[in-house]
Structure 1
Amino acid sequence: MESPANHTELLIATVLVDIALVLAVGTLLGRWVRRLRQPAVIGEILAGIALGPSLLGLLPGNPTAWLFPAEARPFLSTVAQIGLALFMFLIGWEFNPSLLRSHRGTAAAVSIGSIAVSFGMGVALATLLYHRHDTVGVDHVGFTVFALFLGVAMSITAFPVLARILAEKRLTGTRVGGIALISAAIDDVLAWCLLAVVTAIATASGPLDLVRMLVLLGVFLVVLRTVVRPFLVFMTRRHVTVHLLVAVVALVFLAAYATTWIGLHAIFGAFCVGLAMPREPAAELCEQVRRPLEHVSVVLLPVFFIVTGLGVDVGGLTTGNLLELAAIVVIACVGKLTGAIVPAVFLGMSWRDAGILGILVNTRGLTELVVLSVGLQLGVLDRQMFTMMVLMALVTTALAGPLIRSARAQTTRHPEPDPAPATRPVTR
């Protein structure tokens, strides 16, 4: 008879094997999609889906069930949440207010336009999809929460993936690249704020509970501004050492706990600490804090992909779901492209540059998966809706590379002068 101690040790060993498998498959698929000139995150997301019920689970004996047993999944989720918290901190830290000094008028118009149109079209789409996805398990989902969440999910732009695409396509120093980067940064902040509101509405048991959450959130932000931010500034002014890295990670986890206790998701606390993090001295902070955290995130985030992939079941989609998926992809693309292209052209950009800008801000990637995982945990999305939204994130991210190459090739064959003057490269 197996002792409880041996059972626990075997379970932990299983989790370690699962993580090793996820890292191996994610690396292989990441390298494969790079050969197809796609971001590595596409391969990592595909790895999570492939190891789940959509592919591996279809084989005889259901290998997914014994490779990722139900007892091991809470441990995998914990590891995934650690990686996700550190990733969200880095996302908040990536938002550099100095970016707003250049192109701020055009970038703000593009950002607000793309969010507003995408959000509105998402809410409109929700009215058509709601009656088919208004129940998760045995719980009924309110239309307001469902519609608001779908609007937010349609509004997302993946800042990290976008930054990497700009670097790979050598667009970082161009006007369109600079505007796209600033717009994505503004998008991120606005989208997380909207998601925080939706989360508060979804988790509040009534108006009084919602007021309580908003008050506690206000207290949290005040403490962040008056205590945490000065402490981080003090630490960076002394000398950037490994002690700062330890302090930052501790603060990220404490903030994640605080926002969870308030009733929001843990990612909001981590993101807010990133916003409060000083940006100078840039070189020392990059060497001692950013790079170590990025390395840890690279190792832990693939676990988040498998946890996400276990909730994706492509084989469970019906013919009606496929029609819904087509509508979701079309609405997602039209909303972002229209919301970005129209204000960009109105403010003086050429149609081709505006088109490239629209394609760039239509990139959703990993950031969309973070939002969708929140919706799944809140019980706003059922499995079919979650699967379709994950596929939409994959499609919109994968489209960016080919569409940009096509647009730039047309520009080369038929050059069109840009009336706006060139600007200095934008730094991140």
Structure 2
Amino acid sequence: MTAHQLESLQATAFAGIAVILVAGTLLARLARRVRQPAVIGEITAGILLGPSLLGLLPGDLTQRLFPDEVRPLLSMVAQIGLLLFMFTVGWELDGASMGRNKRSVVGVTAGSILAPLALGMGVALLLYDNHSVVNGEKVPLFSFVLYLGVSMSITAFPVLARILKDNNLSRTRIGALALTSAAFGDVLAWCLLAGVVAIVTASGPSGFTDTLWMSAGYGAVMVGVVRPLLARAVVRVAKKGSGACLAALVTAGLLLSAYTTSKIGIHPIFGAFAFGLVMPRKPARMLEERMLRPLQHAGELMLPVYFIVTGLSVDIAAVSPTGWAELGLVLAAAIVGKLFGAGLPARSFGLSWRESTGVGVLMNTRGLTELIILGVGLSLGVLDDTLFTVMVLMALITTAMTGPLLPSLFPRARMDLVAPARQNKPVIRITAKAPDQTPDLAG
């Protein structure tokens, strides 16, 4: 490739990214106007700029904006944004948030994972014959079934946190239970997915065993070596260093961690996520100002490119009547699994049926986290384009339905300020018809 050709590709990539940023911003604003999280608008922008809409117009506009030669450049930008996002997700998950209500959190977490996992695996068995061959290669039944089950068990912790904030539920008892359960559920789901990826990529039983041993060694090094070194580095930067120094150090670390997990054979996103988990949380204010916010802003600029790369593989117009029937089946399993899997344990710990249903609806939020997992499945050759489109639509629908359902679940909810134990800050409590039966779940 000549220097002129390279410059031309770079210029095309610049123009494509500009279109991505404008479209993502406009649709994100539109999504907020209709009480939806911004990620719904950004994902929709990615789909509309792909073959589902723009590709149907005369002139092959999708190919002109995002030609095949430019897509590797876009994928690189998308992957960096994705790694930054996964790091922030890992850092924001804090084991101390379980509080005093471990039983209720464990119950809802386990139910919200196991029920959709089981239903998803059952649906996968029904769909396998129609999607068992991807790119001319036979997909192993066990990998397909386990992957589809895990992908349905996801709750998007970051998107859920935003929905709770937008609906003034962040510090309610129901919101606290759902958010904490989603946090721990995300950790379990990522571990399950790492296992599935190891199974898919391993070359036979010995290769899978090697991956497990290397993953265990990687985890031990992260906890025993990297975490203490990070704690010392944070203390030193807090005294003498600058915010730019800390952000650069953390970015280099998460990229190296992603490189390591990629070499192990699981996926770069797990390295970024694990680096976020072992990153110190104190001093919290300094880390938020000097490390978290700069990385979040950088990720927010690059992550919309990921939606476009994803949208280029989503072709709604190509979905057949059989595909739409499969979407109905997938939706039923995903929604029922979360509603009953999370709602019934919540009810067993004393919540009313209305409140328990609210917990189930909140745990049904999937959003960007689901798209990340689906992207992994597509890149590994576990999903074909049709099933990938079906699963993306499932993620959009289950996320979009959460916001409109919450007001109907709590039409006459009364917001009471209650002083919690060991704190001076007020916590909002939602009470419906029988406030005396509402347990203390805020922790």
Q: 1:391 corresponds to which residue?
A: 393
Measure, in 1, the Cα distance between the counterparts of 2:237 and 2:204: 47
Amino acid corresponding to residue 208 of structure 1 in structure 2? S
**Which of 239, 257, 260 pairs up with 1:258?**
260
Contact persistence 1:350–1:418 (CA under 8 A): no
Amino acid corresponding to residue 303 of structure 1 in structure 2? V
Contact persistence 1:352–1:411 (CA under 8 A): no
Aligned length: 423
Q: 1:151 corresponds to which residue?
A: 149
Amino acid corresponding to residue 434 of structure 2 in structure 1? E
**Which of 403, 406, 411 pairs up with 1:404?**
406
SS of the equivalent of 2:382 reads: coil
SS of the equivalent of 1:409 reads: coil
Q: 2:204 corresponds to which residue?
A: 206
Match status 1:163 vs 2:161: yes
Q: 2:314 corresponds to which residue?
A: 312
SS of the equivalent of 2:435 reads: coil
Contact persistence 2:109–2:181 (CA under 8 A): yes
Q: 1:91 corresponds to which residue?
A: 89
CA shift, 1:363, in A, is 0.1
SS of the equivalent of 1:363 reads: coil
SS of the equivalent of 1:239 reads: helix
Q: 1:420 corresponds to which residue?
A: 438
Contact persistence 1:172–1:178 (CA under 8 A): yes
CA shift, 1:416, in A, is 3.3
CA offset digits 1:162-199 (Å, max 9, x no partner): 00111111111111010011000011000000000000
Runs of 4+ in 1 over 3 A off after TM superposition: 410-414, 420-424
Runs of at least 5 residues in structure 1 that lack an aligned partner in the other structure: none
Sort the Cα spacing of 1:416 and 1:62 in 2 relative to 1 into closer, same or farther, 3 A.
Answer: farther
Amino acid corresponding to residue 197 of structure 2 in structure 1? T
Counting only pairs closer than 5 Å after superposition, residues 20-99 of structure 1 correspond to structure 2 as 20-99=18-97
CA offset digits 1:51-81 (Å, max 9, x no partner): 0000000001210011100000000001000
Measure, in 2, the Cα distance between the counterparts of 1:374 and 1:418: 46
Sort the Cα spacing of 1:44 and 1:288 in 2 relative to 1 into closer, same or farther, 3 A.
Answer: same
SS of the equivalent of 2:437 reads: coil
Contact persistence 1:349–1:418 (CA under 8 A): no
Sort the Cα spacing of 1:418 and 1:328 in 2 relative to 1 into closer, same or farther, 3 A.
Answer: farther
Runs of at least 5 residues in structure 2 that lack an aligned partner in the other structure: 415-430
Amino acid corresponding to residue 46 of structure 1 in structure 2? T
SS of the equivalent of 1:38 reads: coil
Q: 1:177 corresponds to which residue?
A: 175
Counting only pairs closer than 5 Å after superposition, residues 326-337 of structure 1 correspond to structure 2 as 326-337=328-339
TM-score, normalised with respect to structure 1: 0.97
CA shift, 1:101, in A, is 1.5
SS of the equivalent of 2:401 reads: helix
CA offset digits 1:24-50 (Å, max 9, x no partner): 000000111111111010000000000
Match status 1:367 vs 2:369: yes
Q: 2:303 corresponds to which residue?
A: 301
Contact persistence 1:348–1:419 (CA under 8 A): yes
CA shift, 1:243, in A, is 1.7
Amino acid corresponding to residue 91 of structure 1 in structure 2? V
Q: 1:141 corresponds to which residue?
A: 139
Measure, in 2, the Cα distance between the counterparts of 1:179 and 1:132: 39
**Which of 382, 385, 391 pairs up with 2:384?**
382
Moved more, 174-183 or 99-108: 99-108
Contact persistence 2:352–2:438 (CA under 8 A): no
CA offset digits 1:368-423 (Å, max 9, x no partner): 00000000000000000000000000000000001111101165797332523556
Measure, in 1, the Cα distance between the counterparts of 2:436 and 2:343: 15
Amino acid corresponding to residue 312 of structure 1 in structure 2? V
Measure, in 2, the Cα distance between the counterparts of 1:421 and 1:363: 24
Contact persistence 1:33–1:42 (CA under 8 A): yes
CA offset digits 1:109-155 (Å, max 9, x no partner): 00101100010000000110000000001011011000000000100
The root-mean-square deviation of aligned C-alpha atoms, in Å, is 1.4
Measure, in 2, the Cα distance between the counterparts of 1:157 and 1:292: 26
Amino acid corresponding to residue 417 of structure 1 in structure 2? P
Q: 2:232 corresponds to which residue?
A: 234
Contact persistence 2:231–2:280 (CA under 8 A): yes
TM-score, normalised with respect to structure 2: 0.93
Identity of aligned residues (%): 51
Measure, in 1, the Cα distance between the counterparts of 2:53 and 2:376: 24
Contact persistence 1:76–1:307 (CA under 8 A): yes
Measure, in 1, the Cα distance between the counterparts of 2:440 and 2:222: 38
